[in-house]
Amino acid sequence: MSSPRPLHENPPLLTRVGRRRWIALAVGVAGLLACGLDAPSHPSEVIQSYFIAWLYFLGLTIGSLTTLMIHHLTGGDWGLPVRRWLEAALAPLLLLAVLFVPVGIALPHLFTWAIGRTGLTRLDGHSQEWFLNPTFFLLRAGLYLAIWLVLSRLVVRGMRNTRPLTTVCAVGLLTYALTAMFAGVDWVDSLMPLWYSTVVGLIFMTSQNLGAFALAIVCTTALHVALARNPGGLAPEGPQVPPDLTPERCTDLGTLLFVYVLTWAYVAFSQWIIVWAGDLPHETAWYLPRWHSSWRWVTYTIETAQFGIPFVLLLFRALKRDARAMLAIAAFVLSVHWLYVAWLVKPSVATAGVSLGWTDCAATVGVGGLWIWLFLRDLAVYPSFAHGGAEVSASAQPEENPGRA
């Protein structure tokens, strides 16, 4: 009988990747320093770039949390290959809460209502001064982040102690829906204070889940492809594998990604068709800079790349059964998702046209480097998979782990 691999021992392949997390940290710090040095000269451009990067990586984390809760509620074989990556994506949440501080300090460079409290009366006569003021805004943001932190800790602690999470996940999903709706209004809607939409919160939620699930598929399929090239690269004892990404499981992941793409497209199109049918000035104001400037080409790109291309490709079962094809599709969706977040923010504050610059890249590299550092640290510190391919969560402690004859 061979002795089982201890739970604290990490697979060689993921250990090597985890050791490189310091590279991500160094690159992240360098990116943020570059933005900081340029901030005195171009404060508005820098904070806009930083806010886009922050929203993008926050969405990957919060979307991972909701997908984890959905899996714990519904069960299903589809969640086994991606569960470990979703857990690791929760690690940077506390950092993201801290990284909101620069946004709070630089509110006037993002939100016009933070400069002065005039011009906040809508065409229907309702004043928004009571809602759109810096103090109340920051209190709400702190509340959202605190609730999400508590939810993530409860989920991780429940998995660590192998406790049932049905109640936590059920209440957590309802709480997330409520807080994300308000967060979408605060962080996207209020960039144009006289424009308002009840659908933007749903768009905010569905885009978060789409990006997070695409990330989980990228990690799962990338590991599967790496193990196909080096079967002995996971466990010291030989060709042990993580929860196997069988063609059936890969098909399930592709089908769920297809559902996420359709859900996002349906919600986004619903808002557009309602605004188009109403044709009211205070509603069309949000779409005008995205259609009647150089941003319209970005709009066409997002429509094609985040909906059209994945929709067509994911109709083919043969592609969904192929890990390499799913890796390419999910990576494509994940990269276009950044452009979509920029599309949500930039035209509302820079209506003259497309204004993507080097600070957008530096801020994304900066926030992303820190995010990846904590993501890889979680993978390196906690055991990823049990001996012999049995599934173990990030902190689960099974009673026994028998070896092989």
pLDDT at 231: 61
The string of pLDDT tens digits covering residues 310-361 is 999 999 999 999 999 999 999 999 999 999 999 999 998 876 778 778 899 9
CB 92 within 8 A of CB 367: no
**Which tokens sit at 103?**
């946004």
**C-alpha angle 67-387-164 in degrees, rounded to nearest 5:** 40
* Domain definitions of the chain by residue range: 12-116+129-389
pLDDT at 284: 81
pLDDT at 13: 59
The string of pLDDT tens digits covering residues 128-142 is 677 888 899 999 999
Alpha-carbon separation of residue 376 from 147, 272, 342 (angstroms): 24, 39, 26
Q: Give exposure, 16-42, as e/b (b: 16+ Cβ within 10 Å).
A: ebbeebeebbebbeebbebbeebbeee
Q: Which ranges of the chain have pLDDT less than 70?
A: 1-19, 116-128, 160, 230-243, 351, 383-405
User: Cα(208)–Cα(200) distance, rounded to whole angstroms?
Assistant: 12
pTM of the model: 0.88
pLDDT at 246: 86
Sequence-separated (6 or more) residues with CB below 8 Å from residue 360: 49, 52, 53, 342
**Which tokens sit at 7?**
């739970």
pLDDT at 189: 87
User: Cα(92)–Cα(368) distance, rounded to whole angstroms?
Assistant: 10
pLDDT at 400: 38
In total, the chain counts a number of residues equal to 405
pLDDT at 242: 56
